[in-house]
A and B are shown apart, each in its own frame.
Chain A
Amino acid sequence: MKKLVALLLCLMMLPILPAVAETAEMLVVYASVPADWSWPCVWAWSSDGTNAFASWPGDLMEPDPANEGWYYIYLPSGMESVIINANDGSVQTDEIKIDKQSAWIKVAEDKTFSVFFEALTTGEAPAYTERFTVYAQVDATWENPGIWAWEDPSGKNAFAAWPGRAMKPNENGWFSAKVPAWCNCIIINANAGSVQTIDIKDLDPADLWITVNADASFEITYDDPTALKAADITVFAKVPEDWENPCLWAWEHPSGTNVFVSWPGEALTAGEDGWYAITVPGWINSVIINAKEGSIQTADLRVDAGKDLYVTVVSAEDAAVTYEKPVE
């Protein structure tokens, strides 16, 4: 009877076994690199042209606290080749074939490498976790900034000991560090942990930018402040004669950030040539021309950000946008 039950259990498990193998969606790549290779990264791809990361030099490797000198990173299981690089991509290996397997790579001073498919490290690799990036811009007196991260309320820490993970300096003056997605609290510190922000709590697991002042006060945003900002633009509008007191309503899509506090927006100024005009921030990409205190209006008009534009309104349903003054 026991044998029968065992056989039945085995049969029941048969369809499960391959499923377990198929759901293993990640592989791990370890690397040890020369001492002057700072902030090692991995660039990875498969033979069908799929890249693991959006742009060179790829993603930052994590130091394994249990295996000094070794860095690791998890990659999608279909990856067949990697390049280990460092110093913002300025040094790198040639292509290293890993054939969709977890691998241990030793990089020598001359950039040659040896690949092993059996573990050269001790113990299990740290469990895979999604990460987000914290970017910090700190006061000049804050040297070698670091980040401390944890989960509230459990108190589980991301890093072994204070002051936590050193942040990587970047060319644009911002420092960056990866944090496990389960963390919802951080502290930015510097000078070997002797200066620090207060606990910054209840954060989302999303890339964020924090500017820290000398007095440890700070501002945070999830919107990349380093992205290029557009200069002011002028919106010109020509409206039907019965559209009295035309106004502009403008906003940025998709954030929904409005230029004006309340509808119907700001009045356009009449020009001598029959065109009304108003100057607004160049980041807007959506406008509505309205009149008669907002009782008549165009549809939402999507426009290119950062460009002067001309809106010719024929009726509420018929409005055209051009970026050159229309010939009349």
Chain B
Amino acid sequence: MRSSPAFHYHTFLEESIMRKALCLLMVFILFLLTGCTGNPDNQGGKSGPVTITIWHDKEAAVIAVLEEAVKALEPEIVVMFEKKAGMTESLKLVGNDKNAAPDMYFFAHDKIGVYAEMGILTPVTDLLGDDALAGYLPLTVKGGTYKGKIYQVPLYFETLLFMYNKKYMAEKDIPATTEQLYAYMQRKTKYGHYGFVEQHSTPYYAAGWIHGFGGSLITDDGVPCLDCAEVKSALTYHKKFVEYMPGETEYATVNTLFTEGMAHATIAGPWFVPTVRAVGIDVGIAPMPIVDETGLPLAPYSGIQGLHVLKVQAQQKKNVILQVLRTLMRPEVSVKLAKVSGCAPAVESCYTLDEVTNDSLIMAMRHTAETAIPMPNIPEMDVMWTVTGNLLTNVNMSGQDVDSAAKAAQKKVLELIEAMK
């Protein structure tokens, strides 16, 4: 760089002004630097509170519990809960976009495989440490685990439950086994009433029967099992129960049959209980019947609701995200969430508290958690629902032979999985 000749004519006064300006500039830079280093998780160098955004799909009462809990972190950390329509698709679109992705999302565990394969999630144990979920129910940890890594901090879970109308079903009639249930259905399904109804041709509900025969829709490593012996045995056995249920058993029909007093018993989620109680039905909850042939109980799927951390944000905001997670992992938050959601806490220690042990609904879910199966979280599961639904319709409603229907369904699902890859 060439010096300007004019430079040599600076006066002392000019040099003094320059020095002062330089000092001011340095002070200003120092001020900015101080602002930056004061909070390692700042956003783009701005000072002040750090905002954490959590997407969710939950009702207001659930979010109110979380909002109350994270107030303790203010003013340094402000947590924004944002209800997101079409959240699962949005995460696919922007999950890797630092400017658009949330810091976390609050949702069921079953999309973890898809997002983990996309590389948009951080294992929560990377933030919290390997033993962080040691006090959680095994079911809830298993639900959030994909390929050996845990991607979810579970908050609460739900399982399907065996419910009965106490007006109709006496305690002595509560079926301990599926054959007892079948005998009850034979005896009480008459004159327009049903002994038992369920969504017999919906995979989420049929899965309980399949698990009761030791089968599964898909293996943990993504191999579909629709033509496995256990699945076929379950479908064959279950069909005799279907004969004592109405032909159409979609969600609204089954629920209405129960709430209008036309069905004695059903299998439904805990979310159904407030509706049932609101219409004045004295509802009882009982353990799932045991399949006589296998000695295994009907084992429904379980949905585990919890927090997931987006990788793209975790790198920059690690400490703040950690504080938010630890705040929301406190057992008292889990208990409050269980109460407002009608679900069950994920934290084992909650089950020593009176307010939990006195709640028959929560305890029934806790009991079922011993045998319930977390919904598979592998990506292949996405195509299983439709194909399994068609299989159930073909067997239960169209009268197709189980063997040929299962074989066709297996072929179809393998094609779809291959196409997905």
Q: Is the CB–CB distance between B191 and A222 below 8 Å?
A: yes
Known: A253-B256, A254-B260, A255-B262. Contact between A206 and B193, CB under 8 A? yes
Query: Which residues does chain A contribute within 8 Å of B248, judged by CB atoms?
Result: 251, 253, 256-258, 286
Known: A181-B167, A262-B399, A294-B398. Contact between A255 and B191, CB under 8 A? no
Additional A-B contact list (7), CB under 8 Å, known A204-B168, A253-B256, A262-B397: A251-B253, A254-B252, A255-B253, A256-B257, A258-B248, A263-B393, A286-B248
Instruction: Say whether B249 faces chain A, with CB atoms less than 8 Å apart.
Output: yes
Instruction: Say whether A76 faces chain B, with CB atoms less than 8 Å apart.
Output: no
User: Which 7 A-B pairs give the minimum distances between C-beta atoms?
Assistant: A256-B246, A254-B256, A258-B247, A251-B248, A222-B192, A256-B248, A223-B192
What are 12 contact pairs spanning A and B, CB under 8 A? A181-B167, A223-B192, A251-B253, A253-B252, A254-B252, A254-B260, A256-B197, A256-B245, A256-B247, A256-B249, A257-B246, A294-B393
Query: Which residues does chain B contribute within 8 Å of A254, judged by CB atoms?
Result: 252-253, 255-257, 260, 262
A130 CB to nearest chain B CB (Å): 8
Known: A254-B260, A254-B262, A258-B247. Contact between A222 and B253, CB under 8 A? no
Tell me the interface secondary structure of chain B in the complex: loop
Instruction: Say whether B250 faces chain A, with CB atoms less than 8 Å apart.
Output: yes
B214 CB to nearest chain A CB (Å): 29
> Once the chains are docked, how many angstroms separate the CA of A264 from the CA of B393?
10
Query: Which residues does chain B contribute within 8 Å of A263, judged by CB atoms?
Result: 393-394, 397-398
Contacting B at CB under 8 A, from A251-308, are 251, 253-258, 262-264, 286, 294, 300
Known: A205-B168, A263-B398. Contact between A257 and B247, CB under 8 A? yes
Q: Which of B187, B249, B262, B397 contacts A222 (CB 8 A)?
A: B262
Q: Is the CB–CB distance between B192 and A202 below 8 Å?
A: no
Contacting A at CB under 8 A, from B244-299, are 245-250, 252-257, 260-262, 264
Query: Which residues does chain B contribute within 8 Å of A262, judged by CB atoms?
Result: 397-399
Instruction: Say whether A208 faces chain B, with CB atoms less than 8 Å apart.
Output: yes
Interface size class of A (residues with CB under 8 A): 20 to 34
**Closest residue of chain B to A203, judged by CB?**
B191
Query: Which residues does chain B contribute within 8 Å of A255, judged by CB atoms?
Result: 192, 246, 253, 257, 262
Q: Is the CB–CB distance between A256 and B253 below 8 Å?
A: yes
**Closest residue of chain A to B256, judged by CB?**
A254
Q: Is the CB–CB distance between B191 and A221 below 8 Å?
A: yes
Query: Considering residues A206, A254, A263, A286, which has the most beta carbons from chain B within 10 angstroms of its beta carbon?
Result: A254
Query: Considering residues A222, A263, A300, which has the most beta carbons from chain B within 10 angstroms of its beta carbon?
Result: A263
Instruction: Say whether A220 faces chain B, with CB atoms less than 8 Å apart.
Output: yes
Known: A202-B188, A206-B261. Contact between A253 and B399, CB under 8 A? no
Query: Which residues does chain B contribute within 8 Å of A294, judged by CB atoms?
Result: 393, 398
**Closest residue of chain A to B187, judged by CB?**
A202
Query: Which residues does chain A contribute within 8 Å of B197, judged by CB atoms?
Result: 256
> Once the chains are docked, how many angstroms separate the CA of A251 from the CA of B250?
11
Q: Is the CB–CB distance between A205 and B167 below 8 Å?
A: yes
B109 CB to nearest chain A CB (Å): 27
B side interface size, CB within 8 A: 30
**Closest residue of chain A to B397, judged by CB?**
A263
Query: Considering residues B188, B248, B253, B393, which has the most beta carbons from chain A within 10 angstroms of its beta carbon?
Result: B248
**Closest residue of chain A to B246, judged by CB?**
A256
Query: Considering residues B168, B191, B255, B397, which has the most beta carbons from chain A within 10 angstroms of its beta carbon?
Result: B191
Q: Is the CB–CB distance between B193 and A251 below 8 Å?
A: no
**Closest residue of chain B to A220, judged by CB?**
B191
Binary contact track A93-108/B, C-beta < 8 Å → 1, others 0: 0000000000000000
Query: Considering residues A181, A251, A256, which has the most beta carbons from chain B within 10 angstroms of its beta carbon?
Result: A256
Known: A202-B187, A208-B191, A262-B399. Contact between A300 and B167, CB under 8 A? no
Query: Which residues does chain A contribute within 8 Å of B255, judged by CB atoms?
Result: 254
Query: Which residues does chain B contribute within 8 Å of A286, judged by CB atoms?
Result: 248
Contacting B at CB under 8 A, from A68-86, are none
> Once the chains are docked, how many angstroms separate the CA of A41 from the CA of B188?
33
> Once the chains are docked, how many angstroms separate the CA of A263 from the CA of B261?
27
Q: Is the CB–CB distance between A253 and B191 below 8 Å?
A: no
A129 CB to nearest chain B CB (Å): 12
Q: Is the CB–CB distance between A221 and B192 below 8 Å?
A: yes
Q: Is the CB–CB distance between A300 and B262 below 8 Å?
A: no
Q: Is the CB–CB distance between B247 and A251 below 8 Å?
A: yes
A90 CB to nearest chain B CB (Å): 31
Query: Which residues does chain B contribute within 8 Å of A202, judged by CB atoms?
Result: 187-188
A74 CB to nearest chain B CB (Å): 16
> Once the chains are docked, how many angstroms separate the CA of A106 from the CA of B367?
57
A71 CB to nearest chain B CB (Å): 26
B18 CB to nearest chain A CB (Å): 72
A53 CB to nearest chain B CB (Å): 15
B222 CB to nearest chain A CB (Å): 25
Query: Considering residues B247, B257, B261, B394, which has the most beta carbons from chain A within 10 angstroms of its beta carbon?
Result: B247
> Once the chains are docked, how many angstroms separate the CA of A253 from the CA of B251?
11
Query: Which residues does chain B contribute within 8 Å of A264, judged by CB atoms?
Result: 398
A60 CB to nearest chain B CB (Å): 20
Q: Is the CB–CB distance between B193 and A204 below 8 Å?
A: yes
Query: Which residues does chain B contribute within 8 Å of A204, judged by CB atoms?
Result: 168, 188, 193, 264
> Once the chains are docked, how many angstroms separate the CA of A256 from the CA of B201?
13
B25 CB to nearest chain A CB (Å): 62
Contacting B at CB under 8 A, from A214-271, are 220-223, 251, 253-258, 262-264
Query: Which residues does chain B contribute within 8 Å of A251, judged by CB atoms?
Result: 247-248, 253
A10 CB to nearest chain B CB (Å): 26
Query: Considering residues B192, B193, B262, B397, which has the most beta carbons from chain A within 10 angstroms of its beta carbon?
Result: B192
**Closest residue of chain A to B264, judged by CB?**
A204
**Closest residue of chain A to B167, judged by CB?**
A205
Query: Which residues does chain A contribute within 8 Å of B187, judged by CB atoms?
Result: 202
> Once the chains are docked, how many angstroms separate the CA of A264 from the CA of B397?
9
B96 CB to nearest chain A CB (Å): 29
Query: Considering residues A202, A204, A206, A222, which has the most beta carbons from chain B within 10 angstroms of its beta carbon?
Result: A204
> Once the chains are docked, how many angstroms separate the CA of A294 from the CA of B390?
10
Query: Which residues does chain A contribute within 8 Å of B394, judged by CB atoms?
Result: 263
Query: Which residues does chain A contribute within 8 Å of B192, judged by CB atoms?
Result: 221-223, 255
Binary contact track B394-421/A, C-beta < 8 Å → 1, others 0: 1001110000000000000000000000
A210 CB to nearest chain B CB (Å): 9
> Once the chains are docked, how many angstroms separate the CA of A69 from the CA of B251?
51
Contacting A at CB under 8 A, from B24-59, are none
Query: Which residues does chain B contribute within 8 Å of A205, judged by CB atoms?
Result: 167-168
B77 CB to nearest chain A CB (Å): 42
Known: A204-B193, A222-B191. Contact between A253 and B167, CB under 8 A? no
**Closest residue of chain A to B165, judged by CB?**
A204
